[in-house]
Structure 1
Amino acid sequence: MPEAALCWWRWLWLSAAVVALDQLTKVIVLATFTRGEMLPLLPVFSLVLTFNPGAAFSFLAQETGWQRWFFLGLALGAAVLLSFMLRRGGSAWSNVGLALIIGGAIGNAIDRAWLGEVVDFLLVHYGGWYFPAFNVADSAITLGAGALIVDSILQHRAAAAESAAAQRK
């Protein structure tokens, strides 16, 4: 099996773990909470059951329902595209980032397919300020994007160091 294909399979466990953890936490929250019910865990962190028919920060949440299929298709398309990128292989940072984003996209796509909206339940707040509720899949997507940014910085630094070394010769 070619090295790139091995890389593909080696990182799929992370995507699968994200999907499993995301769906498990959502099942627990759906079985435990009613819509809007809040459980403060820390002065700045609570659990609260909310549903988001839109995208991040409830973008397009007030639309008539077409956004369900649009965001479902977008998430699945992104997961397929990122899977092809993962299959090509890359650095560990890149592979972790892609795998996390794939898992997060699939986790939220499952919600859209079955419920028509995404289950959110993690709430960060301070005083009267509230960050929009989010979930494990959203966290994985954010961490994955962060890993891709780190990879980009490291690649840029390596290229700059290589260029500087070549100029000294």
Structure 2
Amino acid sequence: MNGSNAPFALAAGVAVAAFGLDQATKALAIANADLLSGGLAVFPGFNLVLHRNSGVSFGMFGDLPPLALVGLALAIVAWVAVLAFRSGRRSDAAGYGLIMGGALGNVADRLRLGGVTDFLDFYIGTTHWPAFNLADTAIFCGAVILLFWPRRGQAPTRTG
């Protein structure tokens, strides 16, 4: 465990920023529901749409009650917060913060709206990736940071 609270403070700050940006962009999408309901072409390969996802990734578990998904997400956020508190690396703390902020952004939608607001639609030809939002993007980027950020200053572990 790190003796300083600086990594946890960084994680908390990143989480608040990710949450705020996510909620602001979702509010804009909802405020423009008439414009986005049929999809708004931004450039080839990208549309803005308005979609409510009652499940998790790709709509999985959409038949579960929203509060069950909220409980699961809050348990994950609590676990990630403990990891962030124990973190000694700023990059790890930033990754944990992105995951926490994104998860809490989607929790807020589930509590207020019964599902998550998605509005980013990427596609190639007629094949569309499932719509997503900035909370999903924050979670993905946080996981990428944790998994692939270079481990500077750490010796490789040896077994045997």
User: TM over 0.5, yes or no?
Assistant: yes
2:48 is aligned to 47
Corresponding residue SS for 1:40: strand
2:23 is aligned to 23
When normalised by structure 1's length, the TM-score is 0.85
Corresponding residue SS for 2:155: helix
1:102 is aligned to 100
Gaps of 5+ in 1: 164-169
Please state how far the C-alpha of 1:102 moved relative to its aligned partner: 0.3
Give the CA RMSD over aligned residues. 2.0
Q: Which moved more, 1:115-124 or 1:85-94?
A: 85-94
Runs of 4+ in 1 over 6 A off after TM superposition: none
Selected match of 2:155 from 154, 159, 164: 159
Task: Point out the structure with the larger helix share.
Answer: 1
Q: Structure 2 counterpart of 1:22, which letter? A: D
Q: CA separation in 2, counterparts of 1:41 and 1:90?
A: 41
When normalised by structure 2's length, the TM-score is 0.89
Please state how far the C-alpha of 1:6 moved relative to its aligned partner: 2.9
Corresponding residue SS for 1:159: coil
Q: Structure 1 counterpart of 2:37, which letter? A: G
**Percent sequence identity over aligned pairs:** 33
CA contact (8 A) 2:58 2:130 kept: yes
Please state how far the C-alpha of 1:97 moved relative to its aligned partner: 1.0
1:58 is aligned to 59
CA contact (8 A) 2:40 2:48 kept: yes
Q: Structure 1 counterpart of 2:29, which letter? A: V
CA contact (8 A) 1:38 1:47 kept: yes
Please state how far the C-alpha of 1:19 moved relative to its aligned partner: 0.5
Q: CA separation in 2, counterparts of 1:74 and 1:29?
A: 26
Q: CA separation in 1, counterparts of 2:49 and 2:133?
A: 10
